[in-house]
Amino acid sequence: MTKKQKRLLIRIIVAAVMFAVGILYHWVAPEPASEWPEIVLMVGAWALVGYDVVWAAVRNIGHGQIFDEKFLMALATVGAFALGDWAEAAAVMIFFQTGELFESVAVQRSRQSIAGLMDLRPDFAIVLENGQQVEKQPEEVQIGDILLVRPGERVPIDGVIIDGSATLNTSKITGESVPSSVKVGDSIVSGCVNLSGVLQIKAKSAYEQSTVAKILELVESAADQKASTERMITRFAKYYTPSVVIAAALLAVIPPLFFSLKWAVWVKRALTFLVISCPCALVISVPLSYFGGMGAASKLGVVVKGGTVLEQLAKAEIAVFDKTGTLTTGEFSVRQVNALSVSKEELLHLTAAAETYSVHPVSAAIRKAAGESAEPEDTQEIPGCGICARVEGKQILAGNRKLMEQYQIAYTPCDAEGTIVYVACDGTFLGSIVVGDTVRSSVGATMRELKKNGVKRTVMLTGDVENTAQAVAQAVGIDEYHAKLLPQDKVNRMEQIRQRPNPAGTVLFVGDGVNDAPVLAMADVGVAMGGVGSDAAVEAADVVILNDDIGRLPKIIRIARKTGIIAKENIVFALAIKAVVLVLGAFGYTPMWLAIFADVGVAVLAILNALRTMTYQ
């Protein structure tokens, strides 16, 4: 509990004791005894526990916000005092504040999972300058600075370890509870906690572009994105509260005025009607359900950008996947070298030189297999085809079949499984290099889980050749695949998928953030795996899985579906109980203290139901 919550709890306990003493006095005091001790105790209990409610109501009226639960409570209890119902007024305020305390604690609990991510921000960074340790703000660290991270400290900036080894707690970043070991040469992301060993890290990004900064930006923006159910409840409360105030006023006036009934009886019923009508069960429990869902996702190392995304995820029917880095590990290696007129070493050497400046994983695999290579004199990337480069005075072409056909090179087709890089030198075909990727071990199980969770069709989009795409699709259980797609082709294909007859469901796209931003933005829900590594992916994606575990996707969909169900349960339950008690209160069958008890009870039950989303997996 926070200090404020503890103070409220103490006030409730003291007020409840005063209320109990007042009731006891009323029961045991002899008949001629004065009522003033009871009145003083009841008014004192009401004032002690409810002064802030009355003050908030007055302040809100001054700001033009009249019809809220504070106003209803203040009006009802002051009206009860006017009718001489001292005990009832005190009981109403005690029950109301007890409900407020429950709500406050529940909201705090639901925020803790997401607030845990907010603790990622490092307080300082130790920079080594001329052999001295200089403490700086993370924002002051420059790319290339050498940082010192001691045991127990949080890594402030993304970087590469240049000295030392350690064990890191990455749970706040990836959701993994098992610590990971790192050594010299390993990349390390900000937000992790160093559990052992002293590390020297070379910063490879500014704080604004670091992993932790991107996660914090995602978390801060998530709460602003409300689900349509939340927006509906907000609009409902806006019109509902003034409507019940008008209804209560009519209930107080019409029967005495037109039917000569007792004013005291009907004014009291109207005040009871006001107490019952308080919409706090809906206003609190529905947003709390979605906030709890986002908190449950954050425990898995997944950031969901708001309740509206959870709502869309719950309706997911088609899941579209990028292949490289998503269904596969993205860790390519050279599996086969088919050299014709040159040696295998020469073919690798020339290809690696041509691919020197390419960031594609296939290029990196070829460079790794070749070792050292020459610097290209000139390079030109041909989108969707490959690279044309000048190496040691020779024109080198390295790419797919389209590149060979574009330059009218007579080549020997290769049907091996994997990504085929065809190589030509000065118009002569030299051979081909087969580069393979590894399918993630969890993908097959993930596809089966998606089907169990309501996803009706899975689709793969890839730029790879037909046989490679077919092999991966069959291996993991993908329903449909489209191969040999250029970047713009993926966007067009995604548009076609979205235009299929699918009135109720939504379309997901899952990518690794590399060249996926346009398709991520086009999908109903874009899911970036490890997307904090790409600014474009963070901007375009609606869901960011902070590690590379695609198995988190079905779990997030389950959480989204459960969140929606719980939110609807709260709406139906609260409105049904509210309607019944309102009718009973209007006809005098519900005393005011029982009405507020029922209202608080409904709110507490709805809140406890909402909190179930936090623990659902």
What CATH code is carried by the domain that includes residue 523? 3.40.50.1000
C-beta separation of 126 from 135 below 8 A: yes
What CATH number does residue 196 fall under? 2.70.150.10
Task: Check whether residue 494 and residue 369 sit in a common domain.
Answer: no
In a domain, 51, yes or no: no
Each residue of 478-488: pLDDT tens digit? 999 998 887 77
521 and 451 share a domain?
Answer: yes
pTM above 0.95, yes or no: no
**Domain-terminating residue out of 536, 560, 584:** 560
Residue 83: inside a domain, yes or no? no
Query: What confidence score (pLDDT) does residue 504 get?
Result: 58
DSSP code of residue 201: E
450, 553: one domain: yes
pLDDT over 80 at 531, yes or no: no
Interval 255-286: pLDDT, tens: 988 888 888 888 888 877 777 776 666 666 77
Please tell me whether residues 453 and 533 are part of one structural domain: yes
Q: What is the mean pLDDT of the chain?
A: 81
Per-residue confidence at 227, pLDDT binned at 50, 70, 90? Answer: low
In this predicted model, which residue has the larger pLDDT, 67 or 584? 584
pLDDT higher for 195 or 242? 195
514 & 545 share domain = yes
Query: Known catalytic residues?
Result: 322
Q: What band does 534 get if pLDDT is binned at 50, 70 and 90? A: low
Residues 6 or more apart from 436 whose CB is under 8 A from it? Answer: 332, 333, 335, 417, 418, 419
Q: Which residue range forms the structural domain that includes residue 181?
A: 142-205
What pLDDT, on the 0 to 100 scale, is given for residue 121? 66
Adjacency order of strands within the sheet including 543-545:
302-304, 543-545, 525-529, 506-511, 316-322, 457-461, 480-482
Which residues are paired to 510 by β-bridges? 321, 527
Decide if 490 contacts 353 (C-beta within 8 A).
no
pLDDT tens string 60-72: 877 776 666 777 7
Asked if 1 contacts 9 with a C-beta cutoff of 8 angstroms, the reply is yes
pLDDT of residue 465 exceeding 80, the answer is: no
Q: Are residues 539 and 498 in the same domain?
A: yes
Q: Looking at residue 283, what is its pLDDT?
A: 66
pLDDT at residue 429 tops 90: yes
The answer to whether residue 62 sits within a structural domain is no
Position 384 in a domain: yes
> What is the distance between the alpha carbons of residues 402 and 489, in angstroms, rounded to a whole number?
15
Same domain, residue pair 344 and 423: yes
Q: Is 92 exposed, middle or buried (0-12, 13-18, 19+ CB in 10 A)?
A: buried
Q: Percentage of the chain with pLDDT > 70?
A: 83
Domain boundary among 382, 407, 436: 436
H helix count then E strand count, the chain? 21, 22
Q: Which of 164-178, 271-285, 399-413 has the highest mean pLDDT?
A: 399-413
**Does 57 map to a domain?**
no
Do 418 and 474 lie in a common domain? no
- Retrieve residue 256's tokens: 């005495």
CA–CA separation, 498 vs 523, rounded Å?
8
CATH number at residue 352: 3.40.1110.10
Domain ends where: 177, 205, 233?
205
* Residues with Cβ within 8 Å of residue 231, at least 6 apart in sequence: none
Q: What is the tally of structural domains in the chain?
A: 3
Judgement on whether residues 409 and 444 belong to the same structural domain of the protein: no
Amino acid code (one letter) for 481: Y
Query: Is residue 545 domain-resident?
Result: yes
Q: Are residues 462 and 494 in the same domain?
A: yes
Mean pLDDT of 187-215: 82
**590 belongs to a structural domain:** no
> What is the band of 80 on the pLDDT scale with cuts at 50, 70, 90?
confident
Q: What is the pLDDT of residue 45?
A: 92
Residue 464 domain-assigned (yes or no)? yes
Q: Are residue 405 and residue 475 in the same domain, yes or no?
A: no
Tell me: do 452 and 530 sit in the same domain.
yes
